[in-house]
Structure 1
Amino acid sequence: MLSAPSQLLMRSQDVFQTGKWLLVNPTDSHISTQLDSSELHVFHQYFDVYQTSSAQDRSSSHLFAASYPTDAKFDGAVIYMPKSKDQAKMLIANVAACLKADGDLLLVGENKGGVKSAAKLLETVSTQVNKIDSARHCALYAAKVDKEIKPFELQSWQKTFDISEAGVQYKVCSLPGVFNHGAVDNGTKILLNSDIEVPNGRILDFGCGAGVIGCFLGMKNPKSKVVMSDVSALAIHCSKESARLNNLEVEVVASNGLSELQGKFVSVFTNPPFHTGIQTDYSVSETFISQIKQYLVQDGSLNLVANKFLRYSELLEKRFKLVTLIKQTTQFSVYLCSRVK
């Protein structure tokens, strides 16, 4: 079943029947096959939906990237409202630069997801912004891009900041939409300052974000071979840039969970992703914990930091013979896990 924003979009699908259209960050893997479009291109910043969509839909052109090339010119585009308003601003600037003069720019999303701010966001590129439909606690806004559009450069949205943790000084690049944009989150700080051992050999930073953990590992032990993975194209871009800023040779892999990773690791480090809303969802982390032993050498280890209220210890003890709580604060717990079952 389509998500609520996609269901709302389907009610206006007649607008896609003429011209060349760009669909941006759809939340459904099959919405592109449902829209009746003469020519549809799809821009993904999230590898999981990109991987499934491109496999299912051979009629449309799918691109996984941090930004869309502005030499391609479209008659219209639809952006699914991201969680971050700053990411929405960046996407609007990028996509507007991909449109023909007076092109149509639509923004769809859930009311609780911030779509009510769409009119103000779209006013940066248009003098004509209208709410054209609403249903299922969602709204669809449309704008005619009639203002002067500046050339889009992803680098102008980047923020570089200095980090000093556990005696290691380095730089990190960040973009809107990347976890804890422009700063180090408290959970990661706790992990980095937990007297962790960084062994020689191949190590993984899972859910790398801007590369804060991965670059720390590479700086602390230059003999390690760091691999960083994330589902976000923005995170992949930032981690590569962060490694470059610190003269580190690393491997950065776009992956839905662990699916695209190859080979074994002597150690894995992570501040795993989870979602909080009406209900807490940490299915990505549950799947990661259940599968990680396949990627560890026999005496490999897992270093994981998590919010204290998340009951990770029970999940970890099902997969590892030895689970040690090496540090704990009022908010976070750091676990060292070894001897996989």
Structure 2
Amino acid sequence: MKSLKTLSPPSQLVVRQADQINSQALLVVNPPDHEWRHEFPVVAGWHLHAGWFRGWSQLGSEHQFGTTPPRGEYDGALIWLPKEKKLTDYILRQLATCLPKGAPVWLVGDNRSGIKSIHKQLGEGYSPAQKVANGSHSTLIVTTLTEPAETCQLDDYRHVFTPPQEGQPLSAEGATAAQIVTYPGVFAYPKIDLGSTMLLAHLPSFKRGSVLDFACGNGVLGVSLQLQQPDLKMTYLDVSAMALAACAATLELNGLQGTIIAEDHLGAELPKYDYIVSHPPFHTGQATDYSIGQQFLRNAREHLTPNGELWLVANRFLAWPELVEESFGHCERVFTDNKFAVYRAVNTVQRAPKKRGRRR
């Protein structure tokens, strides 16, 4: 394995404490890196982040991206703690359906992720947590499954809401109000975030064409547009398995169809769209991470048709307008308040200069 410095801090701590993780058939849950995998008896992985899953996907079908763990024979599990408490609760309940009684469950996380207070969150079925070690600004703890469970359903955590309508395109006469499904781990669960609310209030009425909802979350932006104009051809893209499950459920609940893609960037294989709408992320788990949003804005123009439009909302402190200007040559500030701003850019077609004929 290469230097520990190439790993995330929680993974560095895990490697240093390898002798404390003594399972013989280990299920790993949502690890952000994979270079350490040969240090442990990893037999399967449950991955909720499409980008992180990429490094594991070549290792076999035992590694799965989705909202439920792969079924198999495990005698322990190792979880990289998510920042959302409800998602942690869901993961622990799912593991109780696939681990034997007495199985150890290790949890590792950045000290800002809530790992230090996890003992308050362990519900029925798990023993009190014990700290194994700390270091690299992270903590490793262990608990034991005392009561296995028969089932755990994703829809036990389902929440449905209607986004605000005032000032939005959906306030047009005859439009249907969207019903949005969301699950733990989806941004702003269990409701809509303020940035997306602002973007919805200022999006125009797209009459026709193809639309990409990048970092779609529960699908609130695309579904709201699609309900106003059903002829739109919608594509929804997100890195999160929980978000994509919520988006699929939202489409079904509203009687709509769309293409759903698990990805963390605009790949070269994606087509061009007439419109791209987004509230780009700037966090990966607990850590601030501008890379996904930066790469998206640098590549967005390449995935727009001539005169195609980019619409996005972002926190005002983010330097997204500069990136948009670098790519598009301009960036229009449509609306702003003391926290968010809505931006628009057009993939303007550059006309070739006319050739001047010779004078006779």
| Length-normalised TM-score, structure 1 | 0.91
Report the CA distance between 1:59 and its aligned residue. Answer: 6.8
Report the CA distance between 1:104 and its aligned residue. Answer: 1.3
Is 1:116 the counterpart of 2:116 in the alignment? yes
Is 1:44 the counterpart of 2:47 in the alignment? yes
**What SS does the corresponding residue of 1:49 show, helix, strand or coil?**
helix
Is 1:53 the counterpart of 2:56 in the alignment? yes
Taking structure 1 as reference, are residues 183 and 231 closer, same or farther at Cα in structure 2, changes over 3 Å only? Answer: same
Segment of structure 1 superposing worse, 274-283 or 261-270? 274-283
Report % sequence identity.
30
The C-alpha deviation readout for 1:137-188, integer Å capped at 9, x for no partner, is 2211111211353521111111111224221511111111110012111111
Taking structure 1 as reference, are residues 151 and 134 closer, same or farther at Cα in structure 2, changes over 3 Å only? Answer: same
| Amino acid in the other structure paired with 2:90 | M
Question: For the residues of structure 1 that align with 2:90 and 2:146, how far apart are their CA atoms?
Answer: 18
Report the CA distance between 1:132 and its aligned residue. Answer: 1.7
Tell me the equivalent position of 2:11: 6
Report the CA distance between 1:298 and its aligned residue. Answer: 1.2
Question: For the residues of structure 2 that align with 1:248 and 1:97, how far apart are their CA atoms?
Answer: 33
Contact 1:202 1:226 (C-alpha < 8 Å) held by counterparts: yes
Question: For the residues of structure 2 that align with 1:186 and 1:320, how far apart are their CA atoms?
Answer: 26
The C-alpha deviation readout for 1:278-318, integer Å capped at 9, x for no partner, is 99642211111111111111111101111112222221111
Question: For the residues of structure 2 that align with 1:21 and 1:250, how far apart are their CA atoms?
Answer: 37
Contact 2:304 2:347 (C-alpha < 8 Å) held by counterparts: no
Structural mapping, 1:160-199, within 5 Å: 160-165=160-165, 166=168, 167=171, 168-199=176-207
| Amino acid in the other structure paired with 2:141 | Y
**What SS does the corresponding residue of 1:243 show, helix, strand or coil?**
helix
Question: For the residues of structure 2 that align with 1:62 and 1:103, how far apart are their CA atoms?
Answer: 20
Tell me the equivalent position of 1:255: 263
Contact 1:40 1:60 (C-alpha < 8 Å) held by counterparts: no
Tell me the equivalent position of 1:62: 63
Question: For the residues of structure 2 that align with 1:92 and 1:17, how far apart are their CA atoms?
Answer: 19
Gaps of 5+ in 2: 1-5, 351-360
Segment of structure 1 superposing worse, 146-155 or 177-186? 146-155
Report the CA distance between 1:238 and its aligned residue. Answer: 0.5
Tell me the equivalent position of 1:216: 224
Taking structure 1 as reference, are residues 186 and 200 closer, same or farther at Cα in structure 2, changes over 3 Å only? Answer: same
Is 1:82 the counterpart of 2:54 in the alignment? no
> What do you get for the CA RMSD once the two structures are aligned?
2.3
Contact 1:46 1:231 (C-alpha < 8 Å) held by counterparts: yes
**Aligned residue among 307, 315, 330 for 2:315:** 307
Report the CA distance between 1:136 and its aligned residue. Answer: 2.1
**Aligned residue among 190, 206, 210 for 2:214:** 206
**What SS does the corresponding residue of 2:31 show, helix, strand or coil?**
coil
Segment of structure 1 superposing worse, 168-177 or 229-238? 168-177
Question: For the residues of structure 1 that align with 2:9 and 2:157, how far apart are their CA atoms?
Answer: 30
Contact 1:217 1:226 (C-alpha < 8 Å) held by counterparts: no
Question: For the residues of structure 1 that align with 2:304 and 2:237, how far apart are their CA atoms?
Answer: 15
Tell me the equivalent position of 1:24: 29
- Count of residue correspondences: 336
Segment of structure 1 superposing worse, 257-266 or 240-249? 257-266
Is 1:264 the counterpart of 2:272 in the alignment? yes
Structure number with higher strand proportion:
1
| Amino acid in the other structure paired with 1:44 | H
Structural mapping, 1:308-327, within 5 Å: 308-327=316-335
Structural mapping, 1:231-310, within 5 Å: 231-259=239-267, 262-275=270-283, 281-310=289-318
Tell me the equivalent position of 1:147: 147
- Greater Cα radius of gyration, structure 1 or 2: 2
Tell me the equivalent position of 2:357: none
Contact 2:301 2:347 (C-alpha < 8 Å) held by counterparts: no
The C-alpha deviation readout for 1:166-219, integer Å capped at 9, x for no partner, is 215111111111100121111111111114232412110000001110111111
**What SS does the corresponding residue of 1:133 show, helix, strand or coil?**
strand
Taking structure 1 as reference, are residues 101 and 135 closer, same or farther at Cα in structure 2, changes over 3 Å only? Answer: same
| Amino acid in the other structure paired with 1:219 | L
Contact 2:203 2:311 (C-alpha < 8 Å) held by counterparts: no
**What SS does the corresponding residue of 1:236 show, helix, strand or coil?**
helix
Report the CA distance between 1:77 and its aligned residue. Answer: 0.4
| Amino acid in the other structure paired with 2:54 | Q
Report the CA distance between 1:54 and its aligned residue. Answer: 2.3
| Amino acid in the other structure paired with 2:66 | A
Segment of structure 1 superposing worse, 232-241 or 321-330? 321-330
| Amino acid in the other structure paired with 2:246 | C
Question: For the residues of structure 2 that align with 1:307 and 1:335, how far apart are their CA atoms?
Answer: 11
Report the CA distance between 1:122 and its aligned residue. Answer: 3.0
Is 1:136 the counterpart of 2:141 in the alignment? no
Contact 1:47 1:232 (C-alpha < 8 Å) held by counterparts: yes
Gaps of 5+ in 1: none
Report the CA distance between 1:51 and its aligned residue. Answer: 0.8
Question: For the residues of structure 2 that align with 1:279 and 1:162, how far apart are their CA atoms?
Answer: 30
